[in-house]
A and B are shown apart, each in its own frame.
Chain A
Amino acid sequence: MIALKNVSKWYEDFQALHDCSVAVEKGEVVIFCGPSGSGKSTLIKLINGLEDFQKGDILFKGKSIRDRDVRLPEWRRRIGMVFQHFELFPHLSVLGNLTIAQQKVLKRDAAEAEHKAMALLDRVGLRAHAGKYPSQLSGGQQQRVAIARSLSMDPEVMLFDEPTSALDPEMISEVLAVMVELAQEGMTMLCVTHEMGFARQVADRVVFMDAGTIVETAGAEAFFSAPQSDRARDFLGRLLL
């Protein structure tokens, strides 16, 4: 479904990714972890073209992002993305956040967009908050709205970049619950997270990154119980302290 082939990326003359290759099949849940600054966010952003890259290729359903007839807005519409800091639109109500792109990008009419939005809010347990503004919600609620907003575009893949790391501990589980449900429904997910419980529960594979390289790829259970590389062992050791 998604494949990175020998991708290298530089910011000016700093190389953020070295020759990274990953393939994610339809319905798979792949967790990306690694120390801060290892290039996880960069890799996730490349997949929907929020950053460009200099070497290698990225494929979505066999089509290269570099193909001449690829339109990036349509490419991104099919790939949902959830950010660490939610990035809800503060000038729009919760309902507005969920309908604006449906109406402007997918050209759905207001009633249809609203119907879809309310169904998704129901699903993340926030129907009663449709009329509020993002600033009136807790962090956990905002992130659930952000997930619902992303789903409103009917994405075929979802990218998550540390969706719970800006949350107070007591709000993490409500967001993870939504993500677990999504994974169990068969959504293809690429998720940067250090939530080990979540990873063990839903991950098909774990990709461990360090200093811009993919150091190790393994099944979730194998990775957590017996990491192969020293760097991964080190990292897990520090995470558990």
Chain B
Amino acid sequence: MAEKYYAGIDVGSHSTEAVIIDDNKQQLSFSIIDTGLDGNAAAENALNLALAKIGINRENLNGIVATGYGRANVTNAGKQVTEITCHATGAHHIFPQAGTVIDMGGQDSKVIHIDENGQLVDFVMNDKCAAGTGRFLEVMAKRLGSDLDQFGNLALLSEQAVPISNTCTVFAESEVVSLLAKNHPRDQIIRGLHQAIVDRIWAQSQTVGIHGAVIMTGGVALNQGVIQLLEDKLKCELLVPPQPQIVGALGAALIAHRNFR
């Protein structure tokens, strides 16, 4: 009998990921691309990329689950599930000891409390605006002339932080401009920005509480500055999967496995 495969696609506001797993829930392949303007096209492209890497055809897929902010528009998915459930499922699969999942993406940040089976117990998610999310870091990195993948490390160069009072992306940007004009050191401003984001996610985490091992997922988990400052603030170690961005898509693939076997 032919091998069965399952796909999960996470259409995020920033990037789209696809993950393929086999019948034993082994991850075989993944892809990460920019979402761009057309979420459905991004989903198609990400899926084709992940399939091509392992030379599998679309017909070999037993089921596809879509998640992420663009999930409703993924036409070839058999089921849509929110990224909150998917990140919980993916994180539990990688770290069965997970009790708390912090997912920081481009426009959303979520703190998810899960039980020993990876099921949701409670969660919080930011409101409409992009204050304190990955987008905020992108805008600030650009404003301060840094590459995104170096931005977090710059935050760790200085022991001191210039306090930033605004996490609203628009206001914080003008605050940064005036701090630069007052000759505050760039590293200290960068640390201050990271501290502001960490304070915000910390406050969010307090409403559901921190339970068990804490897993960090989403693209912001690639930012060493956020990881280290958040570990200091939470006074615990954060477990970060090797590819934190694909955890939602992995969770979606696992849910496809559960639903379409």
| A joins B in a complex | no
